[in-house]
Amino acid sequence: MTGKSTSKPRNGQPSGPAADLKSQDLERSRARPKNEALRTNQGVKIADNQNTLRAGARGPSLLEDFIMREKITHFDHERIPERIVHARGSAAHGVFQVYESMAEYTKAAFLQDPSVQTPVYVRFSTVQGPRGSADTVRDVRGFATKFYTSEGVYDLVGNNMPVFFIQDAIKFPDFVHAVKPEAPNEMPTGGSAHDTFWDFVSLVPESAHMVLWTMSDRALPRSLRTMEGFGVHTFRFVNAKGVMRLVKFHWRPVLGSYSLLWDEAQKLAGKDPDFHRRDLWEAIERGDYPEFELGVQVIEEKDQDSFGFDLLDPTKIVPEEIVPVKIIGKMTLNRNPDNFFAETEQVAFHPGHIVPGIDFTNDPLLQGRLFSYTDTQISRLGGPNFHEIPINRPVSPNVNNQRDGMHRQTINVGQASYQPNSLNDDWPVETKPSVSDGGFESFPEPMEGTKIRVRSESFADHFSQAALFYQSMSDVEKEHITLAYQFELGKVTKPEIRARVVNEILTNFDADLAATVAEGLGLPKPGKGARAAGKQTPSPALSLLNRVRPGVKTRKIAMVAAPGSDGAVIKGVQSALKAQGATPLLIAPTLAAIDGMNPDATIAGMPSIMFDGVVVCGGEQGAKTLAQSGDARHFVLEAFRHLKAIAALGAGNELLNAAHLPANADGVSTGDDVDAVLKPFIEAVGKHRVWSRRKSAESVPA
C-alpha cells in the first residue's frame, strides 16, 4: 500500500511501503537461477541438455523424449499477438511524487501527500509500426503510465500529442486500417506516407488538426526522455466534498523537448532502429534518470462551456495561455525492466483503470476506449486474468468473487464466491463506513437525452485549431511542416488524393501552406478553402522551440580523435563536458587505444546523427589521420548539415578544413584553449540546433 516514505531511495530504487510492496511482488515472480540444477517444468533434473534421445548414435529421434518435447513445445508458443496499435514500445519503472497536496481538487490518495512515493511503470511506443519496426519513424508516440496506488491501479494512457485524429470511437478501426501497412502488401512499415492513410484523412476533416501535429517536429522526438505527454481527453477531478472540476493532464520532461531533423530520423531508422529504446535504457543505466513533471489544467465546472469549442471534443486543446498548466508533481524513471516480455510486452494499460477522485467525461472517444482496452487484453494475454500477471497486479488487495478463467493464478479458498452470503459472514463486502471507506463512486452528472446516433454541433469546427497550431509555429517549424506534407503526399500514388488534401483540408487552415505544398507537388495553385479559418491568437506554448531548456545535461557529445591525437586534450574535453552533465563519447576510425584511452565506438559505427554535438580533438598526427578519412569528413559534414554545434581544438581544425565546411559559420568554435573553445560550444549545444546556420548548411552535402 502507498504510505509514508520511510527511507531514502536505495540505489535509485523506489522507497516507501508501496514501492516495497511492488518490488516484493515482482521479486516473488522472478526466476534468477544460481547454484541451481537445470530441471523440466515438472521439476525433474535434466542430465543432458545437448542431445535428443535417439535409437542409436545416428538413428532417429524418439517420441518418448519428454525433455526435448517439453522444451520445443514451450518454445513453439513463446510469441503472443502484438498490440494492434502501439506494438513497438519500451518501458521503465519509476516513482511519482506530488509536490503538494491536491486535496482541494481531488481525493485521489496518491495526490495527497508529498512524502508518498507511488511506484509507476511507463511504456512509450510508436503507433503504426509492428513490434520490430524502427524507433525514429514519423509517428505519434504513446506515453502510458501505470500508477500502483494504495487505492488500486490508475493508468494515464496518453500520447505525445494533445489531440487525436477522430472524434468518435466508432471511427477508430477505420482510422487504424487506413494508417497501418496496406492490406495487399503490408507496406509501408512504420509510416503514414501512403495512399490509404491520406485517402482517409483527406475525407475526414476532423483529422486535420492532429495530422498537422504529426507533420510537425513533434512526430520526430530526439529522445523518449524529452517528449511531452498528454492525457488528450478531458477528465474530471472530484474532491472529498464531491466538488467536480474538469482536468487536462500534461507530462513535461524536466530536460525540455527537442526533435530530430527528418533526415536524421530517416537515417537513424537504418543505422540504429533501436535509437530511442537504447537512449532510454542507457540513460537509466548511467543514472541519468528521466524526469517528467505532471501538470494539470483545471477548469471549474461553471466555466466548461466558455471556450468556444467543446471540452468533450478530443481534437481540441485548451491553450495554456488561457488555462495555465499547474505543475503538481514529478515522475522519475529509475529502473530498467528485468525482462522485456514479462514486463513491457505483458503490461496491460487501460484508460478505465481509475481511482476515486478521478473520473471520466462523455468524450465519445474516451467512452469507446473504456470498452476496447479490456477486450484487447483478453485476446493478447489469453483470458480475463491478465490482472494477475506480476506487472499488472495492483499493490492494493484485489479481493472479490470473480473466479476461474484461463491461466488463473489465485487459489480461492472457501465455499462462498457470491454475495450476499452467510457461509463467509458476507465477506468480501462493499465499502461501508464500518468496514472501510474509499469506494469508487461515479460523479453524479445529471443525464437526459434521446437515444440517437449524432455528432454534436459543438464538434463541427475542424479547422480553427489547426490554424491556431500552424500560426503558433516558428518559421523553422513551418518550413519543416511544409516539407513533411510534400514528402508524405509525394509518396501517395493517386493524384486525386494529393489534390484533395491540398484543396479540401490545407486551404481551410492555411492558404500559404496549401499553396507551397501544392507547388512542391506540381499541383495548380489552390483557391480559398470553403471553410477557411481566419487569424487566431497564437499560443507560443505550442512551438517546440519554446520548449528547449538551457543546459547540456545527458546530451551526447562525440569527441572525435585518432591515434596521435592529444590525450591531455581529450581528457580535458571529457571532464569539462562531464562537469556540465553531458555524456561525452570517444569516437575514432578504429577501436585502437589513443594515448591509453579506448574509443567507445568507431566513426563508421556511430555516425554523427547519434550525437547532439561534435568536438574534434587536437594533436597533429591524429588530425592528419582524421583529415584523410572519408568517414571522418562525412561525420563533421553531416553534423554541420544537421545544424549541430561543432568545436575543433588545435590541429583538429584540419578536419573541418578538409571537409570544406563554410568559414566562420555560426555554431562552429575553434582554437587552442579548451575552456575558450568549449564555452560557446556548450552554449550552442544547449540551444539544441544552430538554426541561424540553415542557409549555409544547405550548401553542404547531406
Binding site for ligand HDE (CB under 6 A): 83-86, 89, 123, 125, 142, 144, 157-159, 164, 169, 172, 232, 314, 349, 365, 368-369, 372-373, 376
Catalytic residue (one of 93, 159, 160, 653): 159
Any catalytic annotation for residue 51? Answer: no
Q: Which helix (H) or strand (E) holds 465?
A: helix 464-471
Grid cell at residue 194: 501512403
Q: Which is nearer to ligand HDE, 169 or 358 (CB)?
A: 169
Phi-psi region of 664 (alpha: psi -120 to 50; beta: other; left: phi over 0): left
CA distance 702 to 699: 9
Give the list of residues 6+ apart from residue 370 with CB closer than 8 angstroms, or none.
351, 352, 360
In order, the DSSP letters of 416-433 are --SSS-STTTT-S---BT
Grid cell at residue 416: 462462498
Any catalytic annotation for residue 159? Answer: yes
**700 φ, ψ (degrees, to nearest 5):** -100, 140
Specify the residue for cell string 571537409. Answer: 659
Catalytic residue (one of 11, 41, 74, 86): 86
Query: What is the closest distance, in whole angstroms, from the C-beta atom of residue 348 to ligand HDE in the complex?
Result: 6
CA distance 102 to 111: 6
- Which of these, 343, 441, 352, 376, lies nearest to 119 by C-alpha position? 343
Classify 669 as helix, strand or coil. strand
Query: What is the closest distance, in whole angstroms, from the C-beta atom of residue 460 to ligand HDE in the complex?
Result: 20
Query: What is the closest distance, in whole angstroms, from the C-beta atom of residue 471 to ligand HDE in the complex?
Result: 25
Cis geometry, peptide bond prior to residue 273 (ω within 30 degrees of 0) = no
Query: What is the closest distance, in whole angstroms, from the C-beta atom of residue 340 to ligand HDE in the complex?
Result: 13
Give the list of residues 6+ apart from residue 434 with CB closer than 8 angstroms, or none.
none
Identify the bridge partners of residue 682 per DSSP, sorted by sequence position.
none
Cis geometry, peptide bond prior to residue 550 (ω within 30 degrees of 0) = no
For the chain, helix, strand, coil in percent to 5 are 35, 15, 50
Q: Which is nearer to ligand HDE, 144 or 559 (CB)?
A: 144
Task: Answer for the pair 101, 353: CB distance below 8 angstroms, yes or no.
Answer: no
Specify the residue for cell string 479540401. Answer: 504
Residue type, 291: E
Task: Answer for the pair 143, 126: CB distance below 8 angstroms, yes or no.
Answer: no
Q: Which is nearer to ligand HDE, 123 or 633 (CB)?
A: 123
Q: Which is nearer to ligand HDE, 86 or 248 (CB)?
A: 86
Count of CA atoms in the C-beta half-sphere (13 A) of 639: 37
- Which of these, 589, 591, 581, 637, lies nearest to 614 by C-alpha position? 637
Kindly give the pairing relationship between strand 583-588 and strand 556-560.
parallel
CA distance 549 to 541: 13
Q: Which helix (H) or strand (E) holds 481?
A: helix 475-490
Give the list of residues 6+ apart from residue 129 with CB closer than 8 angstroms, or none.
87, 88, 137, 139, 189, 190, 191
Query: What is the closest distance, in whole angstroms, from the C-beta atom of residue 426 to ligand HDE in the complex?
Result: 36
H runs (alpha helix) in 293-381: 364-380
Specify the residue for cell string 543432458. Answer: 48
Q: Which is nearer to ligand HDE, 171 or 478 (CB)?
A: 171
Give the list of residues 6+ apart from residue 322 with CB closer than 8 angstroms, or none.
307
Identify the bridge partners of residue 13 per DSSP, sorted by sequence position.
10
Q: Which is nearer to ligand HDE, 129 or 589 (CB)?
A: 129
Classify 610 as helix, strand or coil. helix
Return contacts of 528-534, CB within 8 angstroms, 24+ apart.
529/463, 529/503, 529/504, 531/205, 531/462, 531/463, 532/463, 532/507, 532/508, 533/461, 533/463, 533/464, 533/466, 533/467, 533/508, 533/509, 534/467
Specify the residue for cell string 554523427. Answer: 608
Q: Which is nearer to ligand HDE, 89 or 618 (CB)?
A: 89
In the complex, residue closest to ligand HDE by CB = 142
Query: What is the closest distance, in whole angstroms, from the C-beta atom of residue 538 to ligand HDE in the complex?
Result: 25
Active site (catalytic) residues: 86, 159
